[in-house]
Structure 1
């Protein structure tokens, strides 16, 4: 058997053993006020100026650009300046940002970041591919605190989502389900290169080795 054939068969075998890699890596920093963004992120939507060229924004239901707070309806993210505006999603409402026209050719969306106000368990973020299929969903209950407190840094956070090299996220959908509201501001995005074919192969092989090692450890423990 030729070396190339052996290598190909080995990589396929390793890929079969691979444990699923997280599509999205999430980090967050307490706010009140917004701690801001860092490189390589660039601000793309502040809601008081036009959204960055190429990004298509779609609001559904009672999703609005709001200013100030209204009791029982919405609260400005902690630290928002007086008169400052933000995005507010009422119950059963959503906002979708399509980045297809923003990302340069031969590049991909590397991640997004936004200031998430008064985090609630009924707030959700969906990451979709270009065809509209959901790659992964993240909920407010996955953050350290999510009781909707309107003033604490622990529940008003700069949240950053980094997409792994194998994922092609094209759209981001923000949703509030059973109650009001999902409030956020200052969306930023980063751009990343699309891996070369050789890099893809190495990534797949690497994930395979990680999966193989994990399975082997489980086998030893079980024994």
Structure 2
């Protein structure tokens, strides 16, 4: 049974790949305070507790702070510890490595045009880059909901998100409470597909009984 499920999982993955990859997409919601996570996501990095298993900053320099100073400004409504990268760091970026994800989101504070986040895929490949300029006015306002936003990033068909690189050429790029939803294991996909199949068979049998009656 387990072997059959594994084979079915491989077949599902192949069908998804064959359907063609769609570009990773993102949306956002105004903050002040931080909006809710996307459906199915759970917090994985908060800077106030150990990261969830499989999530770690593996390259670059990550700073942490609370409140606002000359080095960084707390995202609006955020009284907890947050992370940031800055042009004052060498290097001026930090890469978060993750398990395979179908979605990830984070609270982006006082958005500036000089802030960027790279979305990474399989093997560390670059899927897309989201710049602060894509979220106008991107003027670094520390209190306005429109410049403090939760960013929701979703993998396209055939894609898997494996990390984020936060980068800033100014002072600074602040963010907090990263949440994510993992890609289902092949066995899970197989069970879902099998479940849909059983529902279809049952529906056909009911229709056949009605026709006979």
TM-score if structure 2 supplies the norm length? Answer: 0.72
Cα deviation 1:91-137 (Å, max 9, x = unaligned): 1521211113xxxxxxx411110100000111111112332221211
- Determine the C-alpha separation between the residues in 1 that align with 2:152 and 2:126: 18
How many residue pairs were aligned? 168
CA contact (8 A) 1:43 1:187 kept: yes
Show the counterpart of 1:129: 121
Show the counterpart of 2:210: none
- Determine the C-alpha separation between the residues in 2 that align with 1:40 and 1:161: 13
Computed over aligned residues only, the root mean square deviation of the Cα atoms, in angstroms, reads 2.3
Cα deviation 1:155-188 (Å, max 9, x = unaligned): 0001101111221221211111x21100000000
Q: Give the 3 Å change call, closer, same or farther, for CA 192–160 of structure 1 in structure 2.
A: same
CA contact (8 A) 1:77 1:150 kept: yes
| Mapped pair 1:37 → 2:37 | yes
- Determine the C-alpha separation between the residues in 2 that align with 1:97 and 1:194: 22
Residue 161 of structure 1, aligned match among 153, 156, 162: 153
| Mapped pair 1:111 → 2:110 | no
Gaps of 5+ in 1: 1-14, 101-107, 197-223
Show the counterpart of 2:66: 67
Show the counterpart of 2:98: 99
Show the counterpart of 2:81: 85
Q: Secondary structure at the match of 2:161?
A: coil
Residue 174 of structure 1, aligned match among 155, 166, 176: 166
CA contact (8 A) 1:130 1:171 kept: no
1:36 Cα deviation from its structure 2 partner: 2.3
- Determine the C-alpha separation between the residues in 1 that align with 2:173 and 2:96: 15
TM-score if structure 1 supplies the norm length? Answer: 0.69
- Determine the C-alpha separation between the residues in 2 that align with 1:29 and 1:137: 18
Show the counterpart of 1:212: none
